């Protein structure tokens, strides 16, 4: 029997990176997963890679109507949600001097507002004893130049975990935050204008982390599975930092 045998899970941003690795891990643990993402071709590839017990629903967490469609599909197919992983995220490097209102609004729309309503709209389908995992970032623990808006939006997620853990305790729904460090996923390339810049940033991150490397998406997926399953049954409201020591040492 797997850790999530018979469970139904929703994973936003489930078509690549940590989200895709988590979806694979959950299916191997016995769950049926619903994954969402903005790009249809990536979702199709993810479904093929996962192979079984997966349903893809295209949508943007910044759009409430898309979240409504996601949960309408879950309700129609399964009628219940046991685990929610709010993983969809957006990062765009900007200094305080260079940031625009559009940059700020887009970052918070996906990372903070998107997470908020991903969870809120799941509640009518959640059973007693469910688990919610918010995928934040170790950036919220640090003062990284050019990541001020991103880090603040991820700090909001950490705050949500505390508040929701208290609000949902009577329903025995646990809420925990995961703060990953550097993970070698396509999101890194999207932050830079050239491969050379991205590679230089990767080298700097490796040098800064005490473990001297990037995490594999599968390592973060293992942490999400821990928080989602009964293996963490006495944990709620926590921030689990999985960053190779980057923010801790």
Task: Flag whether 193 is in a domain.
Answer: no
Task: Flag whether 58 is in a domain.
Answer: yes
Please state the pTM of the whole predicted model. Answer: 0.95
- pLDDT at residue 151 above 90? yes
- pLDDT averaged over every residue in the chain: 95
Which residue range is the domain that position 123 belongs to? 8-180+215-239
Task: Flag whether 249 is in a domain.
Answer: no
Task: Flag whether 3 is in a domain.
Answer: no
pLDDT value of residue 197? 83
- pLDDT at residue 183 above 80? yes
Q: How far apart are CA 38 and CA 33, in angstroms?
A: 17
Task: Flag whether 66 is in a domain.
Answer: yes
> How does pLDDT run across 79-102, given as a tens digit for each residue?
999 999 999 999 999 999 999 999
Task: Flag whether 207 is in a domain.
Answer: no
**Is 147 among the residues known to form the active site?**
no
Name the active-site residue from 116, 147, 150, 164.
150
CB 157 within 8 A of CB 86: yes
Domain count, the chain: 1
> How does pLDDT run across 137-149, given as a tens digit for each residue?
999 999 999 999 9
pLDDT value of residue 1? 62
> How does pLDDT run across 216-235, given as a tens digit for each residue?
999 999 999 999 999 999 99
Q: How far is CA 18 from CA 28, 69, 80, 202, in A?
A: 15, 23, 24, 17
Task: Flag whether 74 is in a domain.
Answer: yes
Task: Flag whether 187 is in a domain.
Answer: no
CATH code of 24's domain: 3.40.50.720
- φ, ψ of residue 175 to 5 degrees: the values are -130, 125
């Amino acid at each position: 029997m797997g850790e999530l045998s018979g469970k139904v899970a929703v994973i936003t941003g489930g078509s690549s990176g940590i989200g895709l690795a988590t979806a694979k891990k959950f299916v191997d643990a016995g769950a049926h997963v619903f994954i969402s993402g903005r790009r249809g071709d990536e979702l199709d590839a993810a479904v093929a890679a996962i192979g079984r017990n997966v349903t893809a629903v295209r949508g943007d967490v910044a759009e409430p109507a898309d979240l409504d469609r996601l949960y309408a599909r879950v309700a129609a197919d399964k009628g219940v949600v046991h685990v929610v992983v709010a993983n969809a995220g957006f990062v765009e490097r900007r200094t305080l001097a260079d940031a625009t209102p559009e940059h700020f609004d887009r970052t918070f729309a996906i990372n903070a507002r998107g997470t908020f309503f991903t969870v809120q709209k799941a509640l009518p389908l959640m059973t007693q004893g469910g688990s919610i995992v918010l995928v934040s970032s170790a950036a919220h623990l640090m003062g990284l130049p050019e990541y001020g808006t991103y880090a603040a939006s991820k700090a909001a997620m950490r705050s949500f975990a505390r508040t929701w853990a208290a609000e949902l305790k009577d329903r025995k729904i646990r809420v925990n935050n995961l703060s990953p460090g550097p993970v070698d996923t396509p999101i890194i390339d999207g932050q830079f204008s050239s491969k050379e810049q991205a590679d230089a940033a990767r080298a700097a991150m490796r040098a800064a982390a005490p473990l001297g490397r990037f995490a594999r998406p599968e390592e973060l997926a293992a942490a999400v599975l821990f928080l989602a399953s009964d293996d963490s049954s006495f944990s709620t409201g926590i921030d689990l930092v999985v960053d190779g020591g980057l923010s801790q040492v």
